[in-house]
Amino acid sequence: MVAVMVIAPVQMAQEGHSLRVVGLVISLHVTGMFAPAPLTGRLTDRFGPLPVAIAGAVLLTAGAALSAASGHVVTAFALALLLIGLGWNAGLIAGSTLLASTVAVDQLPRVEAVGELSMGIAAATGTAAAGPVVGLAGYATLAIGAAVAAAALGPLLVALTRHGPRRAVPAKRLLASRRRITSTMSDSFKSPADRALTVEPWSSLTSCSCSDTSAGFRWRNCCR
């Protein structure tokens, strides 16, 4: 996606389109990348991450193929980049959800960090390769290569659909897991005296009132 996106303005300028048209097309692409996120999240909760990821791969493949075949037709080129943006949005949200659903809670921060780093490296590599590929073989070759790469994800995602989890972990469960991780990391920086205060039984706090300030911060949690 990044390889096609970064070279698209250059390609449009070479075809003689004005900066206004270039800006409009890229704006549509960026809108497709981020605007559908709430809907994509709901679809992922409803149908599971794998079907949404497959839909994202289909959109990426269709967008890249249309981009390669659009020629000088700006409307087709704009539609292609919009489809690519939508496919990226679906793939990113579904992939992140799938990762969080299948990795153990204690390993989730490290695995997510590796995933973000890998995505950044792939984006940087695609950006660096886009210019030489277009210079040597043309924009259509780059777009066709992107379509083939996106289509190659199809068999893998279908296999995961047959053998992997179909439904996403509920959002409340993921949030609870993240809170446990945050709490554990926070406790590791506390002194032994502070830890002793934080593990006081809840039953010992039930006698307080919101007007009671003699015990300090320990009483705040029971005054809700």
Range 103-136 burial, b when 16+ CB lie within 10 A, else e: eeeeebeeeeeeeeeeeeeeeeebeeebeebbee
Closest CA to 154 of 111, 101, 91: 91
pLDDT at 194: 53
pLDDT of amino acid 179: 59
Q: For a pLDDT cut of 70, what percent of the chain falls above it?
A: 71
| Residue type, position 5, single letter | M
Report pLDDT for 155: 83
> What pLDDT, on the 0 to 100 scale, is given for residue 173?
55
* Cα–Cα distance, 8 to 131 (Å, whole number): 11
pLDDT in tens, 89-139: 999 999 888 888 888 888 888 888 888 899 999 999 999 999 999 999 999
Read off the pLDDT of residues 24-38 as tens digits, 9 standing for 90 and up: 999 999 999 999 999
For the chain, where do the domains classified as CATH 1.20.1250.20 start and end?
2-171
Q: Can you give the pLDDT at residue 112?
A: 87
Question: Domain 2-171 belongs to what topology?
Answer: Growth Hormone; Chain: A; (1.20.1250)
pLDDT of residue 220: 43
The pTM score is 0.71
Q: List, for residues 11-69, the tens digit of each pLDDT value.
A: 999 888 999 999 999 999 999 999 999 999 999 999 989 899 999 999 999 999 999 99
The whole-number pLDDT of residue 164 equals 56
**How far, in Å, CA of 34 to CA of 188, rounded?**
36
Lowest mean pLDDT among 61-65, 84-88, 161-165: 161-165
The rounded percent of the chain whose pLDDT value lies above 90 is 49
